[in-house]
Amino acid sequence: MDWAQLWEIVSLPDNIPIVFLLVLLPFFLWYGLRQAFANDRLISRLEVDSELAKKHHRKIEPFREGWDLKVYVWPYLLRIEFLAAVIVTFVLMVWSITLNAPLEEPANPNLTMNPSKAPWYFLGLQEMLVYFDPWIAGVVMPTLIIMGLIAIPYTDKNPLGNGYYTFKQRKFAILAFSSGFVLLWCVFIVIGTFIRGPGWMWFWPGETWDHHRLVFETNQDFHEILGLTSQPWISLVGGMAVGLYFLVSGWICHRFLVWNDFTQRIYSQMTLTQYLIFQLFMTTMISLPVKMVLRLLFRIKYVMVTPWFNI
Amino acid sequence: MPDDPISEESKKRGKISSVIVRIKNGIWPFIEKGKEDLKAAQNYKKTQVWKSVFRHKLDDTPRTRSLAVLTNVFLHLHPAKINRDSVRFNFTWGMGGISFYLFFVLTITGIFLMFYYHPTKGQAFADIMYLENDVPFGGLLRNMHRWAAHAMILTVWLHMLRVFLTGSYKTPREFNWTIGVILLVLTMLLSFTGYLLPDDQLGFWAVTVGTSMARATPLLGHEGPFGPELGMTAFNDVRFALLGGSIVDANALLRAYIWHCIAIPLILSALLAVHFWRVRKDGSISGPSPVVLESEMKKKYKV
């Protein structure tokens, strides 16, 4: 166990935000889901007791007799904003006094940094480069992530859970979003920061970063496993494999849409366009962990090889 | 003709005293008015200047509390009154507001940093050294800018997580979620363009790694699918446009600087205005609203 190496990575000033992320993200996930489960218990109570449902205030923070429904922004909101500004300023001051922003040697194109890493918030994309070619990991995926986020409100037809925390009423939405945001985006960032060392090789926390380590991993393409050697068969078979993936993953996503009565009622409100957009983004998102498995377990580099691009 | 010195003197004195009287008579009204002004100044809230600045009384009444918010350009994005439980920390986590505050801090510290920085090769790095070693509080200034930028990315992400978990993107707030996604991207681009500016190894290689992906852009990059077929080379593709050259060099530094200090902050500010405006127009923040039961879904949701 190389504690010095571990400390060197963790204490790097630019990695401090990720240390914060490691604390803040689980905390706020817990904090949000705790309220979601509290609301779910309330929903369960109201569902079995229709009399109670008629007269209940329906919030987990009860409204007390004699309270005004509304309060004045001055001072009740503004004092909170002011207090938040003071606290943030204080934290930022302490952070800035105790920790210096990194500054390395002057830029030198002839001296490559190893590992040379993107800023931490883009490390998810850089980690993706292990599994996909740059045109997918660096261009197509970021574009699809942005467009997929924008598409969320236009494809999520579930009318419930608007303005309150709940898990029960939005299981699929919450699981899909948090697996995308937490498991794929944030975990990739953590891997890219703490695990990836020289040559973008995998070093477990506490393992010494050995600049001379050699890894003997021979990756092969899907068509090589099949013994194909000539085009167009390589492209065709690869294309069929990719097509098959989208069919299977699309079918799995469809199963989630028609999981039970409740999801089917929501599904009934989707237009064809909404359905196709949903399928496009979900299957593309799932393709990332699938490609990871193919790569890590079966050492497959490309599934589809064409003269112009590889997938 | 001084034949009668006494009468001459009295004449002279008479002249002087009459002048004094005239001056006295002339000044007196001013003194009177001055006294009035002093009296009025004691009651300063009635003065024209005061009234022109503060358009309402400052007594502790509901009317004043409302007017304090509604007649102030900086506060008027707020409504006069707000739902009691909308201000709860456990619902909003305060992340949107904190993000905005950090943007404000970044603008202020950024302006100060611009006083000491030249976006030219060689000079840029020297400026950072100067800032850290010679400028009073220069190091603190740079640290605050750097850490506020990182913190803003975290708070924007957490804001997105909160909005998702509370389902706040649902009707009628779909479009504001869209604006929010663009703001999220702009926040990261702001940070990314700033990363290069110290012109050190860290920034240089991070931006080299980051922009090298652009050469793989389908159709528009010289190493991307169908890029070469469309005539893309290292000297005319999308990466060239980003860097102003085929390598990260002086032009890239200038472009990063202009994007970072002018273009992106302008776009971001405009969209921020839309974002806040839409929060108000879409019926203030989404909750905490009363839970809705599955049995209360509209009839059209049927299997």
Q: Does the structure show a pLDDT above 70 at B9?
A: no
The residues facing A106 across adjacent strands are: B200
Mean pLDDT of the residues in chain B: 90
Report the domain count for chain A. Answer: 1
Q: For A200-229, what is the mean pLDDT?
A: 83
Domains in chain B, please, with CATH?
Answer: 95-283 (1.20.810.10)
Q: Report B:189-228 residues touching A (Cβ under 8 A).
A: 191-192, 195, 198-206, 208-210, 212-218, 221, 223-226
Nearest CA in chain A to B205: A116
Q: Does the structure show a pLDDT above 60 at A286?
A: yes
Q: For A222-246, what is the mean pLDDT?
A: 87
Residue contact B82–A21, C-beta within 8 A: no
Q: Which of A10-14, A125-129, A290-294, B265-269 has the lowest mean pLDDT?
A: A10-14
Q: Does the structure show a pLDDT above 70 at A79?
A: yes
Q: Does the structure show a pLDDT above 60 at B1?
A: no
pLDDT score for B3: 57
Residue contact B229–A308, C-beta within 8 A: yes
Does A26 map to a domain? yes
Which of A78, A92, A120, A266 to probe by mutation at the B interface, max B CB count within 10 Å? A92
Q: Which of A270-274, A301-305, B128-132, B182-186 has the lowest mean pLDDT?
A: A301-305
| Chain B residue numbers touching A108 (CB-CB < 8 A) | 201, 204
Predicted ipTM beyond 0.85 = yes
Does A309 map to a domain? no
Nearest CA in chain B to A150: B178
- Give CA–CA dist B42/B95, Å, rounded: 45
pLDDT score for B88: 85
Q: What secondary structure does DSSP assign to A134-199, as a single string?
A: HIIIIIIHHHHHHHHHHHHHHH----SSSSS--SGGGHHHHHHHHIIIIIIIIHHHHIIIIIB-GG
Does A285 map to a domain? yes
Residue contact A102–B202, C-beta within 8 A: yes
Percentage of chain B exceeding pLDDT 90: 51
Does A310 map to a domain? no
Residue A173: which pLDDT band, with cuts at 50, 70 and 90?
very high
Parent domain of A57: 3-298
pLDDT score for B6: 59
Q: Report A:191-230 residues touching B (Cβ under 8 A).
A: none
Q: For the whole model, what pTM was predicted?
A: 0.91
Say if CB B291 and CB A39 are below 8 A apart: yes
Q: Which residue has the higher pLDDT, B270 or A232?
A: B270
Q: For B63-76, what is the mean pLDDT?
A: 89
DSSP A70: E
Q: Does the structure show a pLDDT above 80 at B13?
A: no
Does A262 map to a domain? yes
- Put simply, whether B88 touches A (Cβ < 8 Å) is yes
Does A303 map to a domain? no
Q: For B9-15, what is the mean pLDDT?
A: 71
Q: For A107-136, what is the mean pLDDT?
A: 88
Q: Does the structure show a pLDDT above 60 at B2?
A: no
Nearest CA in chain B to A79: B87
- Put simply, whether A43 touches B (Cβ < 8 Å) is yes
Does A311 map to a domain? no
- Give CA–CA dist A131/A291, Å, rounded: 6
Does A199 map to a domain? yes
Residue contact A150–B177, C-beta within 8 A: yes
Residue contact B295–A47, C-beta within 8 A: yes
